[in-house]
Amino acid sequence: MPTVSTAPLFNKVVPVTKSHVMAPDETFASIKTMPAGGLTIFLPGPTAPVPPGAQPVPDPGNGDYYEVADPHGLISGGNPLTVDGGGFRIGVSGHPLSINGVGAFGGGHFTFDNDAQLWIFCSCGWQFPD
């Protein structure tokens, strides 16, 4: 049987209050506060930073996935969310994904495609304020 993922079977929600490096046991980043100037979520990859005292995050396996959500509508033009692929492209652009708050960002799903060596991004939809 083929290996589907290098990540163990966890579904851990991480409250994000500053820039964050996703670990293999974390699957969902929920933005709780937004620092001035925005924040960056780093997906696993060879260029993802290693937080002090932490082990390097292994490269993603085929089908590994992470989700990011802004349930409080904190992303704005002055406080953007940047998602960095850790050295792997996000979609075909090859650039980190920057979301700057044209309407509130509901969330996004990032799945690693090992054959293409990139993260596939799927938006969970835009949620416009009432």
Q: pTM of the predicted model, to two decimals?
A: 0.82
Per-residue pLDDT at 130 exceeds 80: no
* pLDDT tens track for 42-56: 999 999 999 888 888
- Is pLDDT larger for residue 11 or for residue 32? 32
Tell me which CATH code domain 13-47+57-127 carries: 2.60.120.640
Domains of the chain, residue spans: 13-47+57-127
Which of 62 and 104 is assigned the larger pLDDT?
62
pLDDT at 4: 43
The string over 61-83, giving b where at least 16 C-beta atoms fall within 10 Å of a residue's C-beta and e elsewhere, is eeebbbbbbbeebbbeeebbbbb
